[in-house]
Amino acid sequence: MAEQKTTSVTCPDCGGARQITMRQKRRLIQEGRTFHCNICRTITTPAKAGFRHHNYWRKRYSMEWIKETGQMIWPEDSV
């Protein structure tokens, strides 16, 4: 059996990378489906962040610290 070419796609919810074959990618596009990662595909109702969640972090940390920490976790080139 010939080796299939793979490609990396990005999950629209968490931004995580997922490796799929080119054949899978074409099929998902044709079916109008998204490229969710394995974890996000199992979550039926994603968590919703409200103002109390935002306020929790904003009361404890400066906006500069939050942005810097976010960039360390999710660098620009990984999205």
| Domain presence at residue 10 | yes
Q: What is the pLDDT of residue 64?
A: 93
Tens of pLDDT along the chain (79 residues)? 567 899 999 988 888 888 999 999 999 999 998 888 888 888 877 677 788 888 888 899 999 999 999 889 888 765 4
**20 three-class SS:** strand
Residue 20, domain member (yes or no): yes
Number of domains in the chain: 1
Whether pTM > 0.75 for this model: the answer is no
Other beta carbons within 10 Å of 14: 14
Is the residue at 77 inside a domain?
no
Q: For residue 59, is it within any domain?
A: yes
Whether 78 is covered by a domain: the verdict is no
Residue 52 in domain: yes
> Among 74, 70, 73, 50, which residue's Cα sits nearest to residue 62?
70
| SS3 label, residue 10 | strand
How far apart (Å, rounded) are the C-alpha atoms in residues 75 and 58? Answer: 21
Q: What is the extent of the structural domain holding 68?
A: 6-72
In a domain, 38, yes or no: yes
Do the domain assignments include residue 1? no
